[in-house]
Structures are given as C-alpha cells and as structure tokens.
C-alpha cells in the first residue's frame, strides 16, 4: 500500500505530476479498537491504558510494524502496553520541572538565549515514552491557544536568539497557521534561529511530500544568516523509509538545516549495533545526530528506561563504530538544573558537566560522582568532588 515512489526520484517529479496514490493521506486512529492486527483480548487490556495515556497513530506508521514480532520497535514506540501502568511513585509527569521555567501560556525560558514555544498539544502519533504526556491530558493549560503572549515575551527579551517550536508537533499545524508563527518570529530582529521539533518525517512524511507549500514557506524564512532547523526524532532505523528520507531531502533542498535527536529506549534502540546503524544512516542522509538523551524518569516510562550508566555504555559503543560525522551526538540528560552531558567514567566514578545551565555557576567545571549502576537520573548520584576547570579559574568573569 505504501510503496508509492522510489527514494531516488528527481525533485521536479516530487512537486510536478505525482502518482495519484501520493495524494492519499494516512488515516489516523485514536483507538486500538480500530487496529485489526491487535487481538480482542489484548484490546480489552489496553483500554485502561488509553484511559490514562492518550493514543494516536496512523496507518502509514503502523504499516512499518512486523506484527509477527511482539518486540517490534515501531510497535513499542506507538502501540500502548499494559506495562505503562507500572508506576514508579518516585517519578513524576514533569521529570525536568518544566513548569519552573514557564513564563506564560505556551512559553518556557530556561536558558538565556533560547526559549521554547509550545504551539499545540497534538502529535502525529503519541510516542509511548513521551516525557510531555501531561500535555495531552485533561485540564492541562501549558500549551497556549493563542501564542501572542509568547511572541510578546520574545520580542521584549533581546537576549533571545533561538526559538524552538515544539508542543505537540508543530508540523501538525496547517501550513498557513505555521507560517503565521514563523512570519511573526522573523519580524523580531534578535531572533536568529528558529527550530522546529518534529517527528512527522517519521510518523507521516507525506505531510511534507504532499504539501509543496510547506517547504516553499520554510524556504522563504530560512535565510542566509537566520536559518530554520528541523530537529527530527528518528528513534530506530526502521523509521528511515524511502518516504521519510525523501521528505528530509525535500526540506534540505529548501534551505532547512536538518538534524536528529533521540532518547535511548529499552526495547527500541538499546543496542550498540542499532544505535550505530541509526547514526550512520542519518549521517548518510545529511541529518547529523545531535543529542542522545537519557530517558526522563516520567510516569509511565519505566518500561523504556535504562540505568544511566548502561545507556551511556551503549552510546559509547555505538559511537566507537561510527564515522566522524556519526560521532557528533552528545549523551545528555535534561535535568531541572540544566542539560547535563555525561563525558566519561572509570571503575569507581562517573564524570559529567553542564552542557547548558540557567545558573552561571554551573557553566564551567566537571562534576564527579561515585558510580551507581542503579542510577537513572542525576538525583540518584552521590557527588564525589567538583573540579573547577582552568578556563574558569583564568577567566572567572
């Protein structure tokens, strides 16, 4: 059904006369009742999961699932599991305390020159490991229906040079609605970089391939010295289909800078070979790996989480096999106090540094902790010592 076109199509063919099947859009579903490959007994057990954590997917993405394999990674990403209800009461729905940095409806300001603008609360498919699943629950007001307040906040803060459009998935918005947001951001002179965080190239690449007005609009606002970045979310090589590759290529041809980020996820990409394959194929596509995240300790995510040191070991082994361009990712955790990079370990200690922090005191230096094979998050570690870097000592300002 989805073998619609070869990945080596010429650009003109994509936006010229297309096969009729290309205009067919994937059908979305919000209930496992509508997925025939799931048996009735399993459907009944999953209803209670749907009542707790929202479900949405489409027939393109589910077509990538090998239903004969109960451990299929695409299934793990998109189809509910009863194990999501195995709650760790020490984990919260807001593991990184994003609420602490909320400055108004739809706006988060954690780092001095970067803000997050939450433009909606809908995704093409709801990842079962989502760290913002709270946004898709009833009575959540973190996403603004009107982003004027957020835009005004950005305009009033001249230090802001980077704006990340997120949510939800910004590419769920219609092209005119998305253009209105981007146009208004481009009217703010101190905003240089606009980033769009999106998994739509994986979930539904036809959002890009079927709508030439979208890349054309992005091209208009991705300027020589003020680029638009597409922060893709490919978690597993199976998502790199000919259609998703073509969608990323179309964006690149329209001047959009593309990169990728993913958490390390149990049962999905927690193998050095799988992660290496993802790194390499992305680099072949011109979509360099950016961040690899420690899975946040969010309610419902325990089944996907690995101890931090185990995850870092997988990351290191994958990088050791990768080419230079495949080694560009950093292994980080998005902690309440900042983005913390894991930089190495010995038999007894693990070393970290703040890659980004809202607190100037954390911007330099190395943190040293005693190893803890059961640690999932920074808060699980006991600090051994802190080494202040020579760069900081020479230039304390």
Task: Give 182-217 pLDDT, tens digit per residue.
Answer: 999 999 999 999 999 999 999 999 999 999 999 999
- Residue 316 reports pLDDT greater than 50: yes
Secondary element (H or E) of residue 48: helix 40-52
| Helices 308-321/272-284 angle, 10° precision | 50
What's the pLDDT at 147? Answer: 86
pLDDT > 90? residue 128: yes
Looking at the chain, the whole-number percentage of residues with pLDDT higher than 70 is 89
| Nearest in space to 106 (alpha carbons), one of 125, 126, 132 | 132
* pTM of model > 0.85: yes
Alpha-carbon distance 49 to 54, whole Å? 8
The lowest-confidence range among 6-15, 36-45, 132-141 is 6-15
Chain segment 160-183, per-residue pLDDT in tens: 999 999 989 999 999 999 999 999
* Residue 75: closest CA among 86, 61, 60, 59: 61
Peptide bond into 168 cis (omega under 30): yes
**How many Cβ atoms sit within 10 Å of the Cβ of residue 173?**
18
Q: Extract the tokens encoding 52.
A: 């707790």
d(CA 5, CA 1): 11
The single residue listed with the structure tokens 């390499």 is 280
pLDDT single digits (tens) 71-105:
999 999 999 999 999 888 789 888 899 889 999 88
Alpha carbons 276 and 325: distance in angstroms, whole number? 12
56-65, 91-100, 166-175, 378-387: least confidently modelled range: 378-387
For the chain, the domains span: 11-85, 98-394
Q: Among the CATH numbers 3.30.750.24, 3.20.20.70, 3.40.50.300, 2.70.150.10, which is that of 98-394?
A: 3.20.20.70
At 247 the pLDDT is 97
Look at residue 16 and tell me whether its pLDDT is greater than 80: no
CA diameter of the chain: 67
Query: Can you tell me which residue has the tokens 């036809």?
Result: 206
Cα separations in angstroms, 329 against 70, 324, 342, 343: 30, 10, 12, 12
What's the pLDDT score for residue 20? 35
Chain Cα centroid distance, residue 228: 16
Residue 333 CB partners (closer than 8 Å, separation 6+)? 293, 294, 296, 308, 339, 340, 342, 377, 378
* pLDDT score of 54 more than 70: yes
The pLDDT value recorded for residue 4 is: 44
At residue 134, the pLDDT reads 85
> Quick one: pLDDT band at residue 141, thresholds 50, 70, 90?
low
User: Tell me, what's the pLDDT at 13?
Assistant: 43
């Amino acid at each position: 059904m989805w073998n619609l076109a070869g990945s080596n199509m010429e650009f003109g063919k994509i936006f010229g006369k297309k096969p009729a099947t290309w205009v067919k859009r994937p059908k979305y579903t919000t209930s496992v009742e509508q997925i025939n490959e799931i048996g009735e007994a399993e459907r009944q057990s999953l209803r209670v999961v749907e009542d707790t954590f929202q479900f949405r997917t489409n027939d393109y993405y589910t077509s990538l699932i090998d239903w004969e394999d109960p451990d299929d990674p695409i299934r793990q990403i998109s189809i509910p599991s009863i194990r999501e209800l195995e709650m760790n009461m020490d984990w919260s729905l807001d593991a990184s305390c994003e609420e602490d940095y909320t400055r108004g409806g739809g706006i988060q300001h954690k780092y001095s020159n970067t803000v997050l603008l939450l433009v909606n609360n809908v995704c093409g498919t709801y990842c079962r490991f989502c760290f913002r699943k709270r946004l898709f629950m009833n009575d959540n007001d973190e996403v603004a229906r009107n982003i004027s307040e957020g835009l005004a906040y950005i305009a009033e803060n001249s230090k802001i040079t980077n704006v990340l459009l997120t949510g939800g998935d910004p590419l769920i918005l219609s092209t005119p609605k998305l253009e209105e947001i981007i146009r208004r951001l481009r009217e703010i002179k101190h905003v240089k970089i606009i980033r769009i965080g999106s998994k739509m190239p994986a979930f539904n690449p036809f959002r890009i391939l079927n709508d030439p007005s979208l890349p054309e609009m992005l091209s208009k606002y991705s300027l020589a010295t003020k680029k638009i970045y597409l922060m893709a979310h490919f978690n597993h090589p199976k998502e790199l289909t000919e259609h998703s590759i073509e969608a990323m290529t179309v964006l690149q041809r329209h001047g959009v800078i593309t990169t990728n980020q993913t958490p390390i996820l149990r049962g999905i990409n927690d193998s050095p070979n799988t992660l290496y394959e993802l790194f390499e194929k992305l680099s072949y596509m011109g979509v360099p790996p950016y961040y690899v995240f420690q899975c946040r300790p969010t309610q419902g995510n325990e089944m996907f989480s690995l101890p931090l040191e185990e995850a870092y070991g997988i990351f290191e082994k994958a990088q050791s096999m990768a080419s230079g361009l495949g080694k560009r990712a950093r292994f980080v955790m998005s902690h309440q106090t900042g983005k913390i990079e894991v930089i190495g370990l010995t038999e007894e200690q693990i070393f970290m540094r703040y890659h980004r922090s809202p607190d100037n005191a954390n911007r330099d230096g190395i943190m040293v902790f005693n190893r803890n094979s059961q640690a999932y998050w920074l808060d699980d570690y006991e600090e051994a010592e802190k080494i202040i870097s020579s760069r900081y000592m020479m230039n304390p300002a």
